[in-house]
Amino acid sequence: MSVSSLLLNFLPVALRGETRIFVGYRPYEQETLEELRQEFGQSHVFKRNYEDNTILEIPVITGAEPLSNTSAEEDLAKAPWLWKPLLNAALLRVFAGQREIVHDYPVSVLGNPRSNFIAHSDLPDWIRVLPLLEFDSRTLYGTKQGPRFGLVCNARTRHQLLASCDQLLDIGLSPLGRYVQIELPQKDLRLNPRQLTVGRVASIDGDALILDDHRDGFERVKANEARLTGNLSDFDWCVNSLLPHDGEATLAKARAAISALNQGPGRLNLISQTADYLRTAGLEAVPGVSFELGEWLSSSDAGFPGTEIIDKPTLVFHPSGRPNDTWNERGIKAHGPHDQRTFSPKQLNIAVICQGRYEGQVDRFMGKFLDGMPDVELRNGRKPYDDGFLSRFRLERANVQTFRTTSATRMGYEEACKAALKHAADNGFRWDLAIVQIEEEFKALPGRENPYFASKSMLLRNDVAVQNVRIETMRDADASLIYTMNQISLAAYAKLGGRPWLLSAQQAVTHELVIGLGSHTEQKSRFDESVRYVGITTVFSSDGGYHLSERTGVVRFEEYARELTDTLTRTIERVRREDNWKNTDRVRLVFHAFKQIKNIEAEAIKDAVEALDLENVVFAFVHVVERHPFLIFDRNQQGLPQWQKDPSKRKGALGPSRGVHIKLGDFESLVVFAGVNELKQAAHGMPRACLLKLHRHSTFTDMTYLARQAFDFTAHSWRVMTPEPFPITIKYSDLIAERLAGLKEIESWDDDAVRFRNIGRAPWFL
């Protein structure tokens, strides 16, 4: 792939006109700033100046003057830090009265109601799916021409059910059992009212809705003041209720239209039309000074940020470093796992836990899992799972025994697990692995009733690795099952403590640890206080490869900073002892975080490490951001597969390929971790890059190195054969937090199972 055909959804912005204006000043007070914005927000822009702690007042409409008695002349051309709020205000003035404005920062507006994606002659106009256009202003610092200010445009869709609940009741649609929302006025009357979800309808009392799971103070609301939330479940229910014969067909047609917008050509076309409109609409910064929008920033422009295609990482399948490969499936089938000479035991004891009614299907699945599916061949001649678990990982014939549950309940699964553990104890051996058959519907059960968590809890507490497999997966057609088998076999081997491969690391004089932070939020009901758990994974380099640390943990969000410093201290002490570090050796610590690390947290981590008497330590705090406004288009990408004659059915058209790295500046990079080839189908839209943001307190600031390293970690997953959409430092941490949060719902669970026992030395959470 070439980087010469890329477009960024970034419109360079310049000022035109007489840029010298008078600006008012007054001492800063937060209450005063809020009052000024509320009363004069349509005629002035107010911004806090942190340098002298004042409030700046900029008149933005004809006839307006500074409100303060103190004013001074300012040249906007030399004050680019004022362009962002002025452009934001100009967008609001352009769209006010023309489109429905949903948010004021970043400015978000709904498309024309005539662009409704769902259409049927019998559907009322209060059922809508409209484009939602989002505008964010950014400054790029990674260009050869210096900082460039511009407007970033994006487009998605929003589902709306605008009828009030009394209107629904009048046409025979009851909101019982569904969540409802009310409207709250915005301070800026140009904006649509804010939607606040208040509760779930338990009963109806005249013209009032009685709510059960509700916000404080909202036990009941008037039916004519409430409406459904517009989530996909409510939306589909409304359409199917109103169109009993044509509902599904109408929804399918709407989904196809939404999919077309979310794909590269549709999205680029819509934001390009929007950019054309803004160029003619007259975006005025202040009277006599206008914003001029350029063309989409292209990699053929001299001002495009530095760009590269990151090479696929090399995976090592032998302790000597050879042989190796860039494709995990090919490498492991050809050479076996990295630790095949040392892995023990070779003859596994495997317990199978399943419901009796599915025993035959499970038994057949186990045969395919262990011995492979050599008869399943792709059109290109490849056989992804012809070898099977035993052959692939160089294992001997396994001892497999099945234990049936008495029911599809927590109690039934616990009884089967007890029987398996008792059998092993009575016969003087231990189970190495348990394959537990579960069901899709278990996901909807509370943790304390869930057979998934109950069986996992009991087996992990007894040092048995667990691999759960849904019965629905076991029933998949062989053409699909071969791919799932690849993932299951890989994860099972890793849970056993095996090391399928390692990353090849460049020789360096610096010791390096990479620490990942991920999170999982638990909420018992819609309005209960949510609890966020943080998972910690340590990945470290040693002897030319990256390894998982021996211990993983999870804590509440409020406690994570202290737990992180404790974990880091233990890990550094262990690694420095094993690798014989000297106090004067150079050490690099890289943190991959799900959130922006605060200044106080960064300082606490640095203080904890410096207390270990290491004299030469550098830090990099990297925030891995999933939600951001940037899009990358590749004009040469026609979509895959190429043999598909209908371009609308090709996946990833105009999307970027895996490995594209655009360095936006010294502290920001866009990296495509999963590209066109990694998309499952065209309906999934276009690939999105992740934004990597480096904390300003970092003392190691090589953003190119950090971007390449993060990319390498997406190929180092022992959970799936395909690249992960995030570095495993983040992905594994998310999984740890999610699994442990669920296990804590089982009253007999003991965190010490993964903290101090052998099972915790392996990635049991995959």
> Is residue 567 pLDDT above 80, yes or no?
no
The number of distinct structural domains making up the chain is 4
DSSP E strands in 313-441: the ranges are: 315-316, 324-325, 349-355, 399-405, 433-438
Give residue 450's pLDDT.
94
Percent of the chain residues topping a pLDDT of 90: 64
> Is residue 546 pLDDT above 60, yes or no?
no
**CA gap 746, 464 in Å, rounded:** 17
Which residue among 298, 322, 357 closes a domain?
298
Average pLDDT over residues 452-475: 95
Both 554 and 665 in a single domain? Answer: no
Give residue 529's pLDDT.
64
Report how many helices (DSSP H) and strands (DSSP E) the chain contains, helices first: 18, 36
pLDDT tens, position by position, 465-518: 999 999 999 999 999 999 999 999 999 999 999 999 988 766 667 888 888 877
**CA gap 200, 298 in Å, rounded:** 49
Both 578 and 647 in a single domain? Answer: no
- List residues bridging with 24 in a β-sheet: 57, 71
Comparing 2 with 297, the larger pLDDT belongs to: 297
Is residue 662 domain-resident? yes
Which residue among 688, 713, 737 closes a domain?
688
**CA gap 503, 542 in Å, rounded:** 11
Q: 411 in the Ramachandran plot: left (φ > 0), alpha (ψ -120 to 50) or beta?
A: alpha
**CA gap 118, 256 in Å, rounded:** 10
Give residue 309's pLDDT.
95
**CA gap 211, 10 in Å, rounded:** 45
Average pLDDT over residues 388-399: 95
Both 466 and 612 in a single domain? Answer: no
Give residue 442's pLDDT.
93
Both 530 and 581 in a single domain? Answer: yes
Is residue 307 domain-resident? no
For residue 399, give the 3-state DSSP assignment. Answer: strand
Both 134 and 276 in a single domain? Answer: yes
- List residues bridging with 26 in a β-sheet: 55
Closest alpha carbon to 765 in 483, 524, 520: 520
**CA gap 588, 618 in Å, rounded:** 5
Average pLDDT over residues 285-299: 95
pLDDT tens, position by position, 111-143: 999 889 999 999 999 999 999 999 999 999 988
Average pLDDT over residues 83-90: 96
**CA gap 625, 93 in Å, rounded:** 30
Is residue 257 domain-resident? yes
Both 227 and 367 in a single domain? Answer: no
Domain with 523 in it: what CATH number? 3.30.420.10
Structural Rg of the chain based on CA atoms: 29
Is residue 374 domain-resident? yes
Both 622 and 642 in a single domain? Answer: no
Output the six-digit token pair for 481: 């099952």
Strand pairing report for 433-438 and 465-470: parallel
Both 111 and 216 in a single domain? Answer: yes
- Which band of pLDDT confidence, cut at 50, 70 and 90, is reported for residue 703? very high
Domain membership of residue 649 as a residue range: 631-688
Output the six-digit token pair for 262: 């979310």
Give residue 285's pLDDT.
94
Give residue 319's pLDDT.
73
Scanning 358-474, the segments in alpha helix (DSSP H) are 359-371, 388-392, 410-426, 451-461, 471-474
Give residue 544's pLDDT.
39
CB distance 712 to 328 below 8 Å = no
The residue with tokens 């420095």 is 576
Both 491 and 510 in a single domain? Answer: no
Is residue 97 domain-resident? no
Comparing 561 with 616, the larger pLDDT belongs to: 616
CB distance 720 to 506 below 8 Å = no
CB distance 710 to 671 below 8 Å = yes
Is residue 57 domain-resident? no
The structure's pTM equals 0.91
Write the CB contacts of 664 (distance below 8 Å, at least 6 apart in sequence).
140, 141, 142, 305, 670
CB distance 185 to 165 below 8 Å = no
**CA gap 142, 144 in Å, rounded:** 7
CA 609 to chain centre: 30
Mean pLDDT of the chain: 89
- Which band of pLDDT confidence, cut at 50, 70 and 90, is reported for residue 409? very high
SS3 for 166-211, per residue? HHHHHCCCCCCCCEEEEEECCCCCCECCEEEEEEEEEEEECCEEEE
Sheet architecture: strand order including 101-104: 101-104, 107-110, 127-140, 148-161, 10-17, 289-293, 284-286
Q: Is the peptide bond before 106 cis (omega within 30 degrees of 0)?
A: yes
Closest alpha carbon to 364 in 440, 435, 464, 423: 435
Domain with 448 in it: what CATH number? 3.40.50.2300
pLDDT tens, position by position, 157-173: 999 999 999 999 999 99
Is residue 272 domain-resident? yes
Both 294 and 402 in a single domain? Answer: no
CB distance 212 to 202 below 8 Å = yes
Percent of the chain residues topping a pLDDT of 70: 93
Is residue 565 domain-resident? yes
CA 668 to chain centre: 18
CB distance 433 to 464 below 8 Å = yes
Both 681 and 708 in a single domain? Answer: no
> Is residue 543 pLDDT above 50, yes or no?
no
Strand pairing report for 101-104 and 107-110: antiparallel
CB distance 529 to 536 below 8 Å = no
Strand pairing report for 6-8 and 127-140: unpaired
- List residues bridging with 516 in a β-sheet: 537, 592
Both 582 and 563 in a single domain? Answer: yes
Comparing 607 with 188, the larger pLDDT belongs to: 188
